[in-house]
Structure 1
Amino acid sequence: MLWIRRDLEAEQVPIPSPDLTAAIVRFPERDVLVVSVYVEGRNEQALEAAMGQLHTAIVEFRNGSGRRTDVILVGDFNRHDTLWGGDEVTGRRQGEAGPIIELMGEHGLHSLLPQGTKTWEGPGGIASTIDLVLASTELADEMMSCGIHPTEHGSDHRAIRTEFDTTPPERTPSDRLLFKNAPWLEIKERVRTKLEALPCGGTVQAQTDRLMSVVLDAINDLVPRAKPSPYAKRWWTTDLTRLRRMYTYWRNQARACRRRGREAADLEQKAREAAKEYHDAIRRQKKAHWDSFLEDGVNIWQSAKYLSPGGEAMGDKIPPLKRRDGTTTSDKAEQAEELLSVFFPPCRL
């Protein structure tokens, strides 16, 4: 699965595999092929097939663009090698990632995670490096950081955050009002006081305008605003933040004991209980938020789009258009020009 900023120009790349998801993200000065990868463990046929499909996707991407092309592959490769796992990789596991190494060499890809970074943790404190971030040379040179994300939500695989020294198009986030935290009694009193001071006469439209003006002023003044964040989830609550911090605390306590070689059954139990409480609360809150979303009649068309079989996640965007000469459009400006030329061709005199 891939999540891409809505305001970026992106085109999904079809790959005949349920374990690979790819998209081309277009920037003013370059195109970037981003691929989310999963390779089944202990299955050499799956590894060979995945590397072959990645090779084909990279070649077609680079051959189809006249601009700078960057490649980044991220995901669970399920293979060990000293190149990314360090000296802790046992001799019997060394060499199992041969097809991955060959793909890296053929396309100039580099592993960005510091060698030996633990990306997976199993029961009993067993940890290894099987999740990778592979990037082409120019993009790797622009890397600012690549490591484990500081926030953990209880998965056995750790989230990885990678930052590059690039300049994406600026996004101006709009203020979002937190109506669930609105002081409704105070708003009601403000509206009542303001309306009492206004004249009652005039047409129905004039009275409506006065009412709307008073209500909107009260809402804009008194309703708190959400803090803009690229990771904001509308269903998130302060209670979930508290539960996440509690889970993180007990998990870190248990992990610290394991690293010191001590068994702390009580801490392990508290960590498991905190994780269960946290994840159960997330599921309940997601369901409650979805039910509330469906109850609002304004959202009926959006929800229908989610539920339609084969619906596109980017259904409200125009896909790249193919020109008469076989080339495709790369941004909104070129799409507009192509649509204009097709629907309104120049007059033949």
Structure 2
Amino acid sequence: LPVGIPTLQSTSTGNWTKPDNVFGMEFLLNTIVSCKTAPELRGPKTDHLPILITLELESPRTNEEPCRNWHGIDWDTFNKHLKQTISTRPALPLTLVEEFQEAAQHLTQLIMSTMEICVPHSKPCPHSKHWWTKHLSILWTRIKDLSKITYQMCGLPLHPSHEELKAIKEQY
């Protein structure tokens, strides 16, 4: 933050002061892209302005090959296609080990071909969290919405939003 930018308003006089006491680590100096105040984001009953700092940092990248997206599969379509392909060969009694091995190999080929057709590929984003699911996204959105409501109702401890938020956080 440039020297001389007012960031603190005295609660007694209302005068703006320039304390110039933004702290950071020395190795971060070369990564600063911008540093400015954001008066529009000033919270209620606060005496200071938020300081927005943009840093240019490298994040580790994953280098994974495309894989099967088992989360995005339509299992009804998969099962229908597999049943259709399996039904093309009649079921016969298997009396010899060779017959069993041949049938197992044929079944494996049918499953693999169904996978090729029905299971989409996904190339993960190099910054993605592979454990994150759509369900977690929905829960996180609900938590954020309920947190806003709960904060607004902080003076009413018996408001149902408090219990609902607690329950959603336990699921999350």
The TM-score normalised by the length of structure 2 is: 0.52
The two structures, once aligned, show a CA RMSD in angstroms of 5.1
Q: Say if 2:117 is the partner of 1:191.
A: no
Greater RCO (CA < 8 Å, at least 6 residues apart) = 2
Q: How much identity, in percent, do the aligned residues show?
A: 14
Equivalent residue number for residue 219 of structure 1: 115
Distance verdict in 2 for CA 1:96–1:163, change over 3 Å: closer
Distance verdict in 2 for CA 1:112–1:238, change over 3 Å: same
Equivalent position SS for 1:112: strand
Equivalent position SS for 2:139: helix
Equivalent residue number for residue 280 of structure 1: 170
Distance verdict in 2 for CA 1:224–1:186, change over 3 Å: same
The answer on whether the counterparts of 2:37 and 2:49 sit within 8 Å (CA) in structure 1 is no
Q: Say if 2:3 is the partner of 1:87.
A: no
Cα deviation for residue 207 of structure 1 reads: 2.0
Q: Say if 2:68 is the partner of 1:176.
A: yes
Q: Which runs of 5+ in 2 are unaligned?
A: 10-16
CA distance in 1, matches of 2:70, 2:164: 28
CA distance in 2, matches of 1:270, 1:123: 25
Equivalent residue number for residue 302 of structure 1: none
1:299-343 Cα shifts (integer Å, max 9, x gaps): xxxxxxxxxxxxxxxxxxxxxxxxxxxxxxxxxxxxxxxxxxxxx
Cα deviation for residue 234 of structure 1 reads: 3.9
CA distance in 2, matches of 1:241, 1:273: 20
The answer on whether the counterparts of 2:73 and 2:118 sit within 8 Å (CA) in structure 1 is yes
Alignment of structure 1 residues 68-217 onto 2, 5 Å = 82-83=1-2, 86-89=5-8, 91=17, 93-95=19-21, 97=23, 100=24, 103=26, 109=30, 111-116=32-37, 128-129=50-51, 146=54, 162=56, 171=63, 173-179=65-71, 182-198=73-89, 203-217=99-113
The answer on whether the counterparts of 2:7 and 2:49 sit within 8 Å (CA) in structure 1 is no
The number of residues matched between the two structures is: 154
Equivalent residue number for residue 265 of structure 1: 152
The answer on whether the counterparts of 1:85 and 1:115 sit within 8 Å (CA) in structure 2 is no
Q: Which of the two has greater strand per residue?
A: 1
Structure having the higher Rg: 2
1:225-266 Cα shifts (integer Å, max 9, x gaps): 557333433443323222333344566789xxxxxxxxx834
The answer on whether the counterparts of 1:177 and 1:223 sit within 8 Å (CA) in structure 2 is yes
CA distance in 2, matches of 1:85, 1:116: 12
Equivalent position SS for 1:87: coil
Cα deviation for residue 217 of structure 1 reads: 1.8
CA distance in 2, matches of 1:87, 1:272: 38
Q: Which runs of 5+ in 1 are unaligned?
A: 1-81, 133-145, 148-161, 255-263, 283-349
1:238-297 Cα shifts (integer Å, max 9, x gaps): 23222333344566789xxxxxxxxx8349978867764554332xxxxxxxxxxxxxxx
CA distance in 2, matches of 1:112, 1:275: 37
